Amino acid sequence: MKTILIRYGELTLKGNNRDIFIDQLIKNIKFKLKPYKESLTYIKDHNSLELEMIDESKIEVICNIVKNIFGIYSYSIAEKISYSNTEKIIDTVVESAKIIKNRTFKVNVVRKDKTFPIKSDEFKLDLAKNILQKYDNLKVDVKNPEVEIQVLIKQKKAYVFSEKHDCVKGLPVGTGGKAISLISGGIDSPVASFLSLKRGLQVDFLHFMTPPHTTKEAVDKVFDLIKAIAKYNTNNSSFYLCDFSTILKELMHIKDESYRITIMRRVFLIIANKLSEKIGASAIITGDSLGQVASQTIESMSVISEVSEKIILRPLITFDKEEIIKIAKQINTYETSILPFDDVCSMYVPKKPVIKPKLKQALIQEEGLIIEEMVEYVINNCITRYYLKDGEWNEEKKI
């Protein structure tokens, strides 16, 4: 019988809290594999999880999902055999050796179940001997083999496999709390969201649009970016789309236009804080990278962050653009991010934005503006919630 062995990796270091992380991971896996629940059964172990295949034809599609679930270190597709059937184990190992092309192999036996009657080293030599008898063109190389055939013996079963497939690792989504990601249509914020998910955060998304200046294509672009990230997220994530046009008109009254981006980002955070209170989020995620643009200097981030009661997470703070682009390509958001549709920030940016704003000056610029009243209006009337169900977007007017 074929089975998928899933290794926990970092989760095994969590001491007394290990079961909390493992239970959340299994919950996430079951949600992601819900369409295939009739094709497998779950067998939980202290250091690993086994997906025993009822329908082996679904292995490939299930593995493609598993590799993108945070909290999984690696997986192997194994043949499971009763450890009492020694001849069957030998036959399976010998059969697995037929994939070897360049003549070199190594056999490794891990005997976790000490009731298995043959010692690891003895069984390893016996298995290698049987392979060499079957394939006279092969030879053993213990240092640099083309293929390492693994035999894992535990709980009265033997598992035979020859490959370990790396996964996205990290921590299970949902173990780190909940946060709102301020997502634009650019390259950085989707990557920041991905890295936050990797550390176990459940991530919801907030995007600001300014119709009619924001085109439908620009908004669709954000929907597509969130959909690309959704394969790493949980079933509870939401996308909040905020019509910012009313506040934008109010911000046009700022006397010193060099402070436009600074004030606008402060208002973004005020709205994100209010929304966080409504939905139970404890943090706000941004795509800031130190020094990348005027609003991402130490001085700018300090003045902008001053309005936030929630902790602000900046996963990309020390990343350069090439590093960010590399991850964007890996998670398939890059090509969408570079589509030529502008967001609210790019349309609103002044010719010479202030690089080192002063809090006192920012507060002076805000005098006379009815920001608090406008924010309350937006929170109550201008935010629409969307959520993915069966790969399709669903709309919910009230939040």
- Fold for 178-396, please state it: Rossmann fold (3.40.50)
For residues 391 and 26, which has the higher predicted lDDT (pLDDT)?
Answer: 26
> Looking at the predicted structure, is the pLDDT value of residue 340 above 90?
no
Read off the pTM. Answer: 0.90
pLDDT in tens, 186-214: 999 999 999 999 999 999 999 999 888 78
pLDDT in tens, 156-177: 999 999 999 999 999 999 999 9
- At residue 11, the pLDDT reads 79
User: What are the backbone angles phi and psi of residue 357, rounded to the nearest 5°?
Assistant: -65, 155
Residue 109, beta-bridge partner list: 151
Distance of CA 175 to the CA centre of its chain: 13
- At residue 348, the pLDDT reads 66
pLDDT in tens, 269-312: 999 999 999 999 999 999 999 988 767 899 999 999 999 999 99
% of the chain at pLDDT higher than 90: 74
> Looking at the predicted structure, is the pLDDT value of residue 93 above 90?
yes
| Residues ≥6 apart with Cβ < 8 Å to 190 | 183, 225, 226, 228, 229, 287, 328, 331, 333, 337
Count the alpha carbons within 13 Å of 397 in the hemisphere toward its beta carbon. 1
> Looking at the predicted structure, is the pLDDT value of residue 150 above 90?
yes
Q: What is the mean pLDDT of residues 149-162?
A: 94
Longest dimension (CA), the chain: 89
Sign of CA dihedral 23, 28, 32, 35: positive
DSSP for 237-259, please give it: --EEEEE-HHHHHHHTT-SSGGG
pLDDT in tens, 213-263: 788 898 999 999 999 998 898 877 899 999 998 898 888 888 898 998 899
What is the assigned CATH class of domain 2-166? alpha beta
- At residue 366, the pLDDT reads 92
- At residue 347, the pLDDT reads 59
Numbered ranges of CATH 3.30.2130.30 in the chain:
2-166
pLDDT in tens, 48-91: 899 999 999 999 999 999 999 999 999 999 999 998 999 999 99
Amino acid at 26: I
Phi-psi region of 38 (alpha: psi -120 to 50; beta: other; left: phi over 0): alpha
CB-CB contact of 176 with 234 (8 Å): no
Mean pLDDT, the chain, rounded, equals: 91
CB-CB contact of 266 with 369 (8 Å): no
Numbered ranges of CATH 3.40.50.620 in the chain:
178-396
Distances (CA, A) of 392 to 79, 387, 389: 37, 8, 5
> At CA 307, angle to CA 306 and CA 308, rounded to 5?
95
**Can you tell me the distance from the alpha carbon of 248 to that of 267, in angstroms, rounded to the nearest whole number?**
10
Query: Tokens at residue 249, please?
Result: 């008109």
**Can you tell me the distance from the alpha carbon of 393 to that of 239, in angstroms, rounded to the nearest whole number?**
10
**Number of residues written out for the chain:** 399
